[in-house]
Amino acid sequence: MIVELLHLSLYTNICWLLVFYIVFHCWLNIVAELLKFGDRRFYFDWWNATSIAYFWRTWNIPVHQWCKRHVLNPVIKMGLNKFLACTMVFVLSGVFHEYLASMFFNMLNPWSFLIMICQIPSSLIVSLPRQRRVKNMVVWMMLIFSQGFGVSLYAYNFREIYGSTIFTFGIDAQHIINSS
């Protein structure tokens, strides 16, 4: 089960990195060039993240700025502390991620939402090591495993509902779930 989940995580993250490069580096810069858009900061160095918070602040700058402007700052101005405001941003992001996944798979499950919410307490785990390199490795491991685990959950539910498989890359999602 672990080996299959690692294989799935590897393929999932390769696809995620390719889509990130195509969308954030190629497509958005082409659109920015055509529209003569001057501010081309679509991402920062998220691959060097030493915390989950830094990753979420730097991997998608337009969404981060929108969440900060329309959710985080107004909630802080209402008198809530920063932790609760950040939690609200994660909840909103989890709902949005779940909405996107439900549109893609044509079914509603809590997996994307729960994975997003689990990143709040897991950010404390990343803060435990002292060395930057170790923190960066922990962030990468969390990204790799959470995406692979999420894809396997959706593949299992898709098979249960529709009776067929989707892109499992030769990995039997039913076997992954049943062997645990």
- Cite the active site residues: 97
Torsional sign, CA 58, 119, 170, 103 = negative
Distance separating alpha carbons of residues 6 and 8, to the nearest angstrom: 5
Query: How large is the angle between the packed helices 132-162 and 2-20, nearest 10 degrees?
Result: 100
User: What length does the chain have?
Assistant: 180
HSE-CB of 68 using CA atoms within 13 angstroms? 10
